[in-house]
A and B are shown apart, each in its own frame.
Chain A
Amino acid sequence: MLTPDDTKPSTSSDTIREGNSSAEHVVDGRIYRLGGFVPLDGRLSWSAKRPGRIQPISGYVVQNDDRAYLLDTGVAAHRATVMQQFSGLLKKDQPVTAFLTRADYQCLGNLEALNDQHPLEELAFDIRSPFSAFDDVKRNLQNVRETLLTPGFGGYKPLAASDDLVVFPAMIRILGTNWVYSKSQRTLFTSDWFCHTDLAADAQSSILTDSAMDETTYESAIEHVQCKYYWLSQANTDPLRVWLKKVFEDLDVQIIAPTVGCILSDQKLVEKHYELAMEMLLKLGRKNG
């Protein structure tokens, strides 16, 4: 039993790896990754412990004409890096629209800091559940215009005034979550799904561009998925597989860009991980619904 005097604080680790000072180019001139890396040392609830391996945690900047779209902002522990990367991407006074795929610390950890550094013009949002606590998310964003996307499920909603980015609710999720799709870059931002990849600790890039770079196996993937999506093993996953299949039938996806894990930037990799995801959903789900 712990006693009142047994209150030794946990020690903060120095093993969180900052990312590069410059944002990674996912698509040159159009899509950039913000963020750093975290070791899979057992201190994450959402991923398995895998000594010697790391995972990227990412936000993204999508350049669209004169406006930049900020999709998620990374975690607070990567703040210095994210701020440096962000400032390197923006022109002076460039208007920025921010959008969070989830109201979760993985996504909003640097929202206020980035706004302090380069005032956001607009915060677009779509989730109105009280559990998303939107009033609290925006409470320190002074003078930022709020744009509510078209409410309700079904269909793709333009991300504010963008003619390229569309938003739709994710059916595979824990909290209220949207995925975002760039039509011109055929890139799908999948928030907390397709987060089942990791990298060797000395990896320099979070982007996989070739199957030879990808060490993911079914076993390593499912180990990660079961950490966060613990409920899948008790669930009827048929509707989830039907939904995921439809997403990939409806959208031409060449790049998958999740909040956690590697960016999959190769058609064969996208196909491999889509099949992996479908297989995991099938095998994890209860056979009798």
Chain B
Amino acid sequence: MNETTDVPQFPREISPGVFWLNYCMGTSPKTPELHLHLSIFLVIGSEKTFLIDTSLPTMWRGIEPQLREALAGRKLDYIFVTHPELPHSAGLPNLMEQFPEATLIGDMRDYHLFFPEYMGRSQNVVPGEKLSLGDRSITFIDAAIKDLPGTLWAYEDVTQTMFVCDGFSLTHDGDENIDPVDVGRELRDLEDDEPVHFEGECAMLTSELPSVNIKSASLIIERALYWSRFVKPDLLFGDVRKLFEDYPPKLIAPSHGNVIDNIPEIEKMVIEAHELAYARATEVAG
């Protein structure tokens, strides 16, 4: 994270009452490494506050001050876990302890086995249900792009922000000419002073990024969504478009990527990245 103030910082208010919190993780055990967002989001309603995902315990030191700053003295009312995969849910014990009045909310199937101690503080929701935060509401949506079954997306109706967890994954690696096969897969040795990404990119909206590296995005998609190598993207994005007709987004907020404000342009790139992942697997399979 950069130290200067002339570039976007976390927590970033991406739309009135919607805050983006993030502490990037690396993609490999070697350094330097590609940055990968592990973002969570806070929605501040007039009556209730609503957190989307939990990040990881090892990132809590970086996330907690952002969360406290964004809450600005409000209490945290809801902790929505999109799905019980570690990067999205492993911070739950920290949050439940730090915010003892908060309610865990989401598709609560499986949680009675994973987190039995929190069942008394939980609320199950199903796709299509709405939750009022006062002046705005959240609609829970069956995720069109996901890894684990039971994953929910969320749509905030005032700012029209769609929270898509593992969907629309991107990296921010500063240079569209970097070959991600070297960076991500072979863990290339970079010179110490070679930038992996440019200053401030972590907190930029996609329209502010100097470029988006589609090859890097395809590698992240392969890792986050293993099945993407077997599924043709046109099948997938047909469902996404139908969903966007019902819930038109002005912002798309993914867990693993910059927040998307130029949606048609980035959607095209994400589809291309999925196509690359599919084509690479087809090529390997012969």
Contacts and interface: CB of A to CB of B under 8 A. Distances in A.
A136 B57 contact: yes
A70 B124 CA distance: 34
Contact of A131 (B29, B130, B150, B224): B224
Given A10-B122, A128-B29, A231 B133 contact: no
A238 B285 contact: yes
A238 B114 CA distance: 34
Interface residues of B, number: 57
B230 interface: yes
A58 B147 CA distance: 22
A38 B56 CA distance: 28
Given A2-B130, A4-B47, A43 B109 contact: yes
B231 A132 contact: no
A50 to B, nearest CB: 14
Contacts of A237: 230
Contacts of A78: 113
Given A45-B109, A239-B230, A239-B285, A11 B119 contact: yes
Given A1-B131, A44-B110, A105-B113, A12 B47 contact: no
Contacts of A131: 85-87, 223-224
Interface in B76-121: 77, 84-87, 90, 103, 107-110, 112-116, 119-121
A46 B114 CA distance: 13
Interface of B: 25-29, 36, 47-48, 56-58, 77, 84-87, 90, 103, 107-110, 112-116, 119-125, 129-134, 137, 147-150, 223-224, 226-227, 230-232, 235-236, 281-282, 285
10 contacts: A10-B122, A43-B110, A44-B113, A57-B113, A77-B114, A109-B113, A135-B58, A176-B226, A228-B149, A236-B230
Shortest beta-carbon contacts, A-B, top 7: A45-B150, A12-B119, A235-B230, A105-B114, A1-B130, A133-B86, A75-B113
